[in-house]
Structure 1
Amino acid sequence: MIRLLSAVLLIGGSLAACQQIKDAQPKKTYLATLMTLDPGHFHSALVQKNMYPEVDTTAYVYAPAGDDVQMHLSKIEQYNNRADNPTNWNEVVYTGPDFAEKMFEEKPGNVMVVAGNNQKKTNYILRAVQDSIHVYADKPMAINGQNYETLKEAFDIADKNGVLIYDIMTERFEITTILQRRLSQLTTVFGEVAESTPDTPAITKESVHHFSKMVSGSHLIRPAWFFDIDQQGAGIVDVSTHLVDLIMWSLYPKANLKPEDAEIVKTRQWSTDLTPEQFKKVTGLDEFPGYLKKDVLNDSVLQVYSNGEIVFKLREKYGKSSVIWNFEAPPGSKDTHFSRFRGTKSDLVIRQDSSTNFQPTLFIEPHGKFDRSKWEMTLNAALDIVHKEWPNVDFHFSDNKFIIDIPDKYKVGHEAHFTQVTKKYLDYLKNGSIPQWEKDFMLTKYYITTKAYEDSLRQMKEASEAEDKESEEPQ
């Protein structure tokens, strides 16, 4: 018995020693540990659709209790449990009315991910950089002029504290957009940027979205606040962020653009009207919440100012962005994108409509009468250059224009772009800084969108006052 007891003690001592050695092993350190604050948009989950070796598998969530956070966690669980390439996220969740203060107090991570209600987003960004926390934010980071001033302050503090602010510009990773930009840099194909005016911009971009859609194989349920421009932001400051960014990115690649380089020329915004039945389909709610009553017409139709248009001058060139939201896409279609980049030799055009089976397709449209065989020689030489980055891209001729043939392996889709942007952000974290042109782009594009919003509000107010005055005048 004594021998047995001694053996047990010896084994126990050995196990204890092993445990001490194990505990003494240095814990793996990660470049980034994510803290997701108040996730209210499915983009917050798409950041975690895949794993990253530099990112801690334990991620933290701070949010008020409710449907928004549950939908976020359900998507993460879906990614963890999928059959093909499952993720392995361990979500540590805090829900309570003091969720924001709790996150800033505990700071279990070093990167704040924020994608959701935009009403407080800019203040969250400012608070994060004040506490030396990196920021990875869904667009828009500012939805009005006051937000923009706060954002400028946040960038100054971020530089002083050595932390990074970056927004998730997924559309830079769409292959047709990449190739449109690349071909515009080849003078043999594109020439130079054509002279532009407010009525004939150098680049025109139009994006059509839908409130009712499928995401990650499930019907998307949107929070009711998404339809409140005081919380989500109007369309002219929301999706327009992407379009303005792409116009800048194409016209002036990696240039140090400043807000003073931009001038707002024309703006307008208009509403998409939703019936109670449509609202219920996309939110699950039987009636409009109180904060939306201000936008309900005749107690029955919700007016959502989700549509906006901006014509702006950037240095000596003009760009135009248009954002349109419909309720639901026709069967078989998706969100669409149109882009025309005007050159002196050809226009580079992206179409995504019924003519392309709702797939984004890049066209090269030479000007005037042209020799097809000479153009084919020119394009073959141009694609030899393109192939250094994008092998096997080809072209064919149809209906008096050239169509760029893009291998399916490059058509990864919108959701995959979130992983690509996140990898770019992680590269910047490794380097310890974001290039100056990226910072300049963010501040300049948010100047353009918020200034356009303020100008359009002023115009709408003046038009309404003029209409009221006219109605008051004796007939």
Structure 2
Amino acid sequence: MKYLSSLTLAALVLLSACSGGVKKSDKTQNEPTTMFSGAKGEVKLMTLDPGHFHSALVQKTMYDQVDPVVYVFAPDGEDVKDHLKRIEGFNTRAENPTSWEEKVYTGDDFFEKMISEKPGNVMMTAGNNAKKTDYIYKTIEAGINVLADKPMVITPDKFPMLEKAFQLADEKGVMLYDVMTERHEITTMLQRELSQLPEVFGKLLVGTEENPAITKESVHHFFKYVSGSALKRPAWFFDTEQQGEGIVDVNTHLVDLIQWEAFPEVILSKSDVEIVSAKRWTTDLTPEMFKKVTYLDEYPEYLQKDVDNNVLKVYCNGEINYKLKGIYAKASVIWNFQAPEGAADTHYSIMRGEKCNLVIQQGEKEGYKPKLYIESTSGDIQEFAGSLYNAVEGLSAKYPGISVEKIGDKKWALNIPAEYNVGHEAHFGQITEKYLKYLAEGKLPEWEVPNMLVKYYTTTEGMKAAMK
């Protein structure tokens, strides 16, 4: 790990400019730009204030298109030190070690230094969300591409700034994209595939508030293991003014999946969203729990506002019931402190169709691994079964090795080969590969930007409703 002086960074700016730095473009994000070609090492990565372990997971693997030298701009402290330890762990692991070289600037003016000297052409940010929307906007304004971990915005009042950031990205010819790893989870991918087959699924039902057409529920845990080690969380992670409430944080993934599955590649707009109801509630942490996950003996001063009788109350749980293009949907997130022995984070999802329900469960029965079930609601079971087996056989051309197994009178399980279950951490490499592909092509799919905005409109309007 090397620490740079201002003079060194200034020199690197000139080198970056000579080797394919950011160029302005009159073209929109839906039209190709000439910024990247896919050449080796042309992407110069900058990591901004890496307070969340997701910032390191982007670098768990190497990419030909990305220069191995990465510029880190952050305030001095435990967050950046922990980040560098994770990168060093990737570099020194026995199997497939990486070869990143981190060049670090930790002055108080870290953000201003990054913007003024620009040694890179892509900024990655995953950390404290309090200033994230401002950071995104100003980075785009400086003509730098941005890959941002979710959420891009955590309060309704900042949503207009995010809208302006996307508009500015369009004008500048740079690419703003968020990290939606859950689109790469195999059961979700196959749930989406099956929902697009009328002979199996029919049409997505309209549903009701009590019985939505599509539901996504996620259970997470503050104490967990990442890359084989107990995860240390920064104290600010428990401050919703810095991390964001659960209804606008993890729910970002769930709302994204609802849009991605129910209306694949359909351009959505804010007018398609109607918030029906929303709620929020706390997870309570004792001082002992807090110490176990932060290694701190006391709550910092900024958390005292959320402490009641020495118990920290974190508004990390939330639920949004809404309609999207007239279809009822529900997205809810729950945070527990620690999973029971042998358990893990879980995901539940159901899509209700005219002919069947497509259900993802990840409980004890599934060994806490996601499993996709098909529940027939059709009157003619034999006809449905024939359609289902034919459909899975057809999908096996794209996903070799998958098969379907009958486990009840009207219920089947989709068997998926183990090699497709690459795990959450690997999804960061997959989404980074996709982003690099989009950079080389010079454009995002035409539905991505409008749908990102609809996603964050839904989460922030949901928070607004829950606060009433």
Q: TM-score, length-normalised on structure 2?
A: 0.90
| Contact preservation (8 Å) 1:31, 1:429 | no
Q: Which moved more, 1:212-221 or 1:398-407?
A: 398-407
What letter is aligned with 2:405? H
CA offsets 1:13-46 (integer angstroms, 9 cap, x no match): xxxxxxxxxxxxx998633111000000000000
Say which SS state the counterpart of residue 436 (structure 1) adopts.
Answer: coil
Provide the residue aligned with 1:390 in structure 2: 399
Provide the residue aligned with 2:74 in structure 1: 63
Provide the residue aligned with 1:416 in structure 2: 426
Provide the residue aligned with 1:297 in structure 2: 308
Provide the residue aligned with 1:364 in structure 2: 374
1:125 to partner: Cα distance: 0.4
| Contact preservation (8 Å) 1:110, 1:134 | yes
What letter is aligned with 1:58? V
Provide the residue aligned with 2:4 in structure 1: none
Provide the residue aligned with 1:463 in structure 2: none
Cα distance between partner residues in 1 of 2:95 and 2:209: 49
Provide the residue aligned with 1:42 in structure 2: 53
What letter is aligned with 2:343? S
1:429 maps to 2:444: no
Provide the residue aligned with 2:200 in structure 1: 189
Q: Which moved more, 1:386-395 or 1:285-294?
A: 386-395
| Contact preservation (8 Å) 2:350, 2:359 | yes
Say which SS state the counterpart of residue 447 (structure 2) adopts.
Answer: helix
1:316 maps to 2:326: yes
| Contact preservation (8 Å) 2:45, 2:67 | yes
CA offsets 1:162-190 (integer angstroms, 9 cap, x no match): 00000000000000000000000111111
1:147 to partner: Cα distance: 1.6
Higher normalized helix content (fraction of residues): 1
Cα distance between partner residues in 1 of 2:40 and 2:338: 45
| Contact preservation (8 Å) 1:31, 1:430 | no
1:410 to partner: Cα distance: 0.4
Cα distance between partner residues in 1 of 2:378 and 2:442: 50
CA offsets 1:37-66 (integer angstroms, 9 cap, x no match): 000000000000000000001001010111
Matches for 1:171-190 after TM superposition, within 5 Å = 171-190=182-201
Provide the residue aligned with 2:223 in structure 1: 212
1:385 to partner: Cα distance: 2.1
Which residue of 324, 334, 350 maps to 1:340?
350
Q: TM-score, length-normalised on structure 1?
A: 0.89
1:72 to partner: Cα distance: 0.5
1:127 maps to 2:138: yes
Structure (1 or 2) with the larger CA radius of gyration: 1
What letter is aligned with 1:425? Y
Say which SS state the counterpart of residue 54 (structure 1) adopts.
Answer: coil
Provide the residue aligned with 2:161 in structure 1: 150
Cα distance between partner residues in 2 of 1:113 and 1:147: 20
Cα distance between partner residues in 1 of 2:287 and 2:447: 45
Which residue of 97, 108, 123 maps to 1:97?
108
| Contact preservation (8 Å) 2:282, 2:313 | yes
1:169 maps to 2:192: no
1:369 to partner: Cα distance: 5.6
What letter is aligned with 2:403? D
1:430 to partner: Cα distance: 0.5
Say which SS state the counterpart of residue 398 (structure 2) adopts.
Answer: coil
Provide the residue aligned with 1:454 in structure 2: 464
Provide the residue aligned with 2:390 in structure 1: 381
| Contact preservation (8 Å) 2:40, 2:64 | no
What letter is aligned with 1:202? A
1:376 to partner: Cα distance: 3.6
Provide the residue aligned with 1:331 in structure 2: 341
Which residue of 252, 255, 276 maps to 1:241?
252
Report the aligned-residue RMSD.
Answer: 1.3
Cα distance between partner residues in 2 of 1:441 and 1:332: 37
What letter is aligned with 1:384? E
Structure 1's unaligned 5+ residue stretches are 1-25, 460-475
CA offsets 1:438-474 (integer angstroms, 9 cap, x no match): 00111000000001111211x2xxxxxxxxxxxxxxx
